C-alpha cells in the first residue's frame, strides 16, 4: 500500500508539473502583454493593419498578421485535409495489411522531420516554381499553404485512421448484409460513425498549422499586408514574433508578447474544440 501510494504521488507530481508549466507560461505572457493592451486598446491592435513599432507614436496593429495566418492555415487545410482524409480511408478500409504496415509508419515518420527541412525545400524548389509558372514573388500564401498542408498530414491521417478503426466491425457487417458495396459502407456508415474523430484530427491539424514558425518564415515572404491573392506575400503571427523578438524592447517587446497572447488564445480554442468533439457521447 505504501509503495502504491508513493507511485500515485509521483505520478500526480509529474501530471501537476505539466499543468504548472502551462500556468507559468500563461501568467508570464499575460504579465508582459496585458499592460500594452490596456494602454493602446484591444481594438487598436486587433483591427488595425498598420504595424510600425518605430513610428511616433508607434502602431501595433496585427490585423494583417491575423489575416496572413488565416490565409495560410485555410490554404493548408484545403491541401492537407482531402489528401489526409483520403489516405486515412484507404489505409483503414481498402489497403492490404502488408501495405499498411509499411505506409503508416512512413507517414508517422513524416511528423519527425524538422520544419526547417520543409521550409528549405519550399524555398529552394516550390517558391521558384511558383514564381516561374504562376507569377508573383514566389514566397507567398500558396507556398506556405502547400508546405503546411504537407506538414499537417501525419496529424490528420493518424488520428483519422484511429477514428475509422474504432468503428465497430458490426456496423460494416450489417451494411454488407443489406447489400451495400464497400464504398457505400464507408461513405454512409463508417464515415458518419467516425465523424467526431475526423473533425478532431482536422482541428488539431489546424492548430499545428497556426502555430508553425520556421517553415512559414522561409516560404511566405514575410510582408506585412493583408493578402488579396494566393500569390501575395504575407507575415503570420508566429513569424512576426520570431523575426522581431531578437531586437525588440519596451513597448515593441510588449506588443510581441500581446501577439503571443492572441496566438495562445487561438490555439487554446482550437484544442478545446477538438477535445469537446472527440469526447465520447454517453
Partner residues linked to 234 by β-bridges: 221
Please state, as a whole number, how many other Cβ atoms lie within 10 Å of the Cβ of residue 59.
Answer: 17
Please state, as a whole number, how many other Cβ atoms lie within 10 Å of the Cβ of residue 202.
Answer: 23
Q: Which three cell numbers stand for residue 229?
A: 491573392
Q: Distances in Å between the alpha carbon of 277 and those of 5, 126, 129, 270?
A: 34, 35, 39, 11
Residue 108 CB-half CA count within 13 A = 11
The pLDDT value recorded for residue 29 is: 86
Domain boundaries along the sequence of the chain: 64-245
DSSP state of 51: E
Cell 517587446 belongs to residue: 253
pLDDT means over runs of 10, the chain (282 residues): 81 85 87 85 85 84 91 94 93 88 85 89 93 89 94 92 91 88 90 89 89 91 90 92 86 89 86 74 56
Helix (H, G, I), strand (E, B) or coil at 100: helix
The class level of CATH for 64-245 reads mainly alpha
Taking every pair of C-alpha atoms in the chain, what is the biggest distance, in angstroms? 74
Q: Which three cell numbers stand for residue 280?
A: 465520447
Amino acid at each position: 500500500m505504501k509503495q502504491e501510494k508513493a507511485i500515485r504521488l509521483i505520478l500526480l507530481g509529474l501530471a501537476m508539473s505539466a499543468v504548472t508549466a502551462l500556468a507559468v507560461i500563461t501568467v508570464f505572457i499575460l504579465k508582459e502583454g496585458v499592460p500594452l493592451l490596456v494602454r493602446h486598446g484591444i481594438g487598436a491592435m486587433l483591427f488595425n493593419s498598420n504595424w510600425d513599432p518605430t513610428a511616433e507614436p508607434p502602431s501595433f496593429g496585427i490585423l494583417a498578421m491575423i489575416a496572413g495566418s488565416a490565409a495560410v492555415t485555410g490554404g493548408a487545410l484545403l491541401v492537407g485535409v482531402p489528401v489526409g482524409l483520403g489516405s486515412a480511408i484507404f489505409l483503414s478500409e481498402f489497403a492490404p495489411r502488408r501495405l499498411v504496415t509499411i505506409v503508416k509508419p512512413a507517414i508517422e515518420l513524416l511528423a519527425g522531420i524538422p520544419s526547417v527541412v520543409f521550409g528549405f525545400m519550399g524555398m529552394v524548389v516550390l517558391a521558384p516554381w511558383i514564381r516561374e509558372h504562376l507569377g508573383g514573388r514566389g514566397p507567398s500564401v500558396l507556398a506556405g499553404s502547400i508546405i503546411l498542408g504537407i506538414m499537417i498530414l501525419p496529424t490528420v491521417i493518424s488520428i483519422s485512421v484511429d477514428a475509422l478503426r474504432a468503428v465497430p466491425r458490426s456496423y460494416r457487417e450489417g451494411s454488407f448484409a443489406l447489400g451495400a458495396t464497400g464504398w457505400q459502407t464507408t461513405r454512409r456508415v463508417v464515415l458518419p460513425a467516425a465523424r467526431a474523430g475526423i473533425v478532431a484530427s482536422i482541428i488539431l491539424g489546424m492548430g499545428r498549422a497556426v502555430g508553425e514558425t520556421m517553415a512559414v518564415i522561409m516560404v511566405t515572404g514575410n510582408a506585412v499586408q493583408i493578402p488579396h491573392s494566393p500569390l501575395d506575400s504575407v507575415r503570420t503571427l508566429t513569424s512576426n514574433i520570431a523575426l522581431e523578438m531578437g531586437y525588440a524592447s519596451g513597448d515593441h517587446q510588449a506588443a510581441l508578447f500581446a501577439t503571443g497572447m492572441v496566438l495562445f488564445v487561438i490555439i487554446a480554442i482550437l484544442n478545446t474544440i477538438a477535445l469537446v468533439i472527440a469526447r465520447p457521447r454517453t
